[in-house]
Copies of this chain bind each other. A is one copy, B any other.
Amino acid sequence: MSPDNAINERGQQLLKVLVEKYIRDGQPVGSKTLAEETVLGLSSATIRNVLADLEAHGYLRSPHTSAGRVPTVKGYRFFVDSLLTLQPLDNTAFQQFQQQLSPDQNVQDLVSTASNWLSEVTRMAGLVMLPKREKILLRHVEFLPLSDNRILAILVLNEHEVQNRIIYTDRVYNLVELQQAANFLVTTYAGQDIQQVRRQLAGAMQEERTHLGQLMQTAVEFGSKALASPADAAKDYVIAGQNHLLELAGETGVERLRQLFEAFTQKQDILHLLDQCLSAEGLQIFIGEESGYAALDECSLVTAPYSFEGKPVGVLGVIGPTRMSYDKVIPVVDITAKLLSAALNQGYLPPD
């Protein structure tokens, strides 16, 4: 009826209606229903022929002889790529979200706000990768003495990210010494990328052991300890609304769900997947097995990268059943990525 892999106009229309209906109801769709609901005015018999064709081409499958048809991954894929009509999203709802995203929040808070928002709006699980910026600028350093040769190092990075860690020293230092050391570090290195700073400090450690004064030596030593592999490229993500996925349990079985939740706590597979989305530009969708991870076999993942200073630094998205409302989810993910980017860049995006 049609060349190898192609399906004609009518087939596409029917596929579209079928997938939409299946997404709504979750029940296999038969030719009769389709004949009634579609505008084409075709008889069920004709539709049966078309459906048989679609099945032969791998877009549909029947759970069993008399159960109507269900989209395959290939079917969903074609639907999403070529047939989808996106729903405009609710304006008031996401203005509210925009307000939550104050650029004064630290990155952690921004990320979890976004994650929560995604999960609430889509009623599925939202996840947001922590941004990994190429450059992390050192802004301020502060050392405070603790008990027992321990020092609390406080780093201010980029705009207003605060990190702290404890470093150990060979002897006890007093407040003044520490302040001087910190001052030295700030005046010398503030505004530079911490990778650079690290390298310079390492170099200084070698050279100036003999050359220079006590002060600089201490400063260099502490600085190097304080910056020793801090969580600059925090490879992690935040997930919200796993609850919603429990509704999957009915359709797909509890065991699969456990595997999925397991994957969430293991994190690595998911992270790997998100990483891929970072390099690929724009919104991306993994349907069912397309992801390549068994735990996600029954799920779809809609992702979009968000950016800082024009460069993509992280990925966010939504995980839900394969049978999700792509037409609604896609715009949400898209907008969320844009809003998060905007918040990160301290600016704001006009409502359109």
Q: Taking the complex as formed, is A104 at the interface, i.e. its CB lies under 8 A from any CB of chain B? A: yes
How many whole Å from A165's CB to the nearest CB in chain B? Answer: 8
Residues of B within 8 A of A156 (CB): 144, 152, 154
Chain B residues contacting A160 (CB-CB under 8 Å) are 144, 146, 152, 164, 166
A262–B244 Cα distance when bound, in Å, is: 9
Q: Is the CB of B146 within 8 A of A159?
A: yes
> Does A40 lie at the interface of the complex (its beta carbon under 8 Å from any beta carbon of B)?
no
Within 8 A of B (CB), among A228-270: 241-243, 246-247, 249-250, 254, 257-258, 261-262, 265
Contact assessment for A166 and B104 in the assembled complex, using a CB-CB cutoff below 8 Å: yes
State whether the Cβ of A106 lies closer than 8 Å to any Cβ in chain B: yes
In chain A, residues 138-162, which have Cβ atoms closer than 8 Å to a Cβ of chain B? 139-140, 142, 144, 146, 150, 152, 154, 156, 159-160, 162
Give Cα A265 to B257, complex, Å. Answer: 18
* Residue among A159, A166, A246 with most chain B CB within 10 A: A246
Query: How many A residues have CB within 8 A of the partner chain?
Result: 29
A144 and B139 contacting across the interface, CB-CB below 8 Å: yes
Instruction: Work out how many copies of this chain go into the complex.
Output: 2
Q: Which residues of chain B are within 8 angstroms of A139 by Cβ–Cβ distance?
A: 144
Residues 194 to 248 of chain A near chain B (Cβ within 8 Å): 241-243, 246-247
Of B104, B162, B254, B265, the residue contacting A162 (CB under 8 A) is: B162
- The CA-CA distance from A258 to B246 in the complex, in Å, is 6
Q: Are B246 and A250 neighbours in the complex by a CB distance under 8 Å?
A: no
- A17–B239 Cα distance when bound, in Å, is 43
C-alpha spacing A146/B258, complex, angstroms: 46
- A146 partner residues in chain B, CB cutoff 8 A: 159-160
Nearest-neighbour CB distance to chain B for A319, whole angstroms, equals 15
Question: A242–B246 Cα gap in the complex (Å)?
Answer: 12
Given contacts A258-B243, A262-B243, contact A154 B166 (CB under 8 A): no
List residues of chain B with CB within 8 A of the CB of A254: 246, 249-250, 254
Measured CB to CB, the nearest residue on chain B to A139 is B144
Of the candidates B104, B154, B159, the one whose C-beta lies within 8 Å of that of A142 is B154
A166 to B346, CA, bound (A): 14
Specify which chain B residues have a CB less than 8 angstroms from the CB of A142 in the assembled complex: 142, 154
What would 17 A/B residue contacts be, using CB atoms closer than 8 Å?
Answer: A106-B164, A139-B144, A142-B142, A142-B154, A146-B160, A152-B156, A152-B160, A162-B162, A241-B265, A242-B242, A243-B258, A243-B265, A246-B254, A246-B261, A249-B249, A250-B254, A254-B254
Residue numbers of A with Cβ under 8 A of B are 104, 106, 139-140, 142, 144, 146, 150, 152, 154, 156, 159-160, 162, 164, 166, 241-243, 246-247, 249-250, 254, 257-258, 261-262, 265
The 6 closest A-B pairs by CB, nearest first: A162-B164, A104-B166, A243-B261, A249-B254, A152-B160, A246-B258
7 new A-B contacts, CB < 8 A, other than A142-B142, A254-B254, are A104-B150, A144-B156, A146-B159, A146-B160, A152-B156, A243-B265, A246-B261
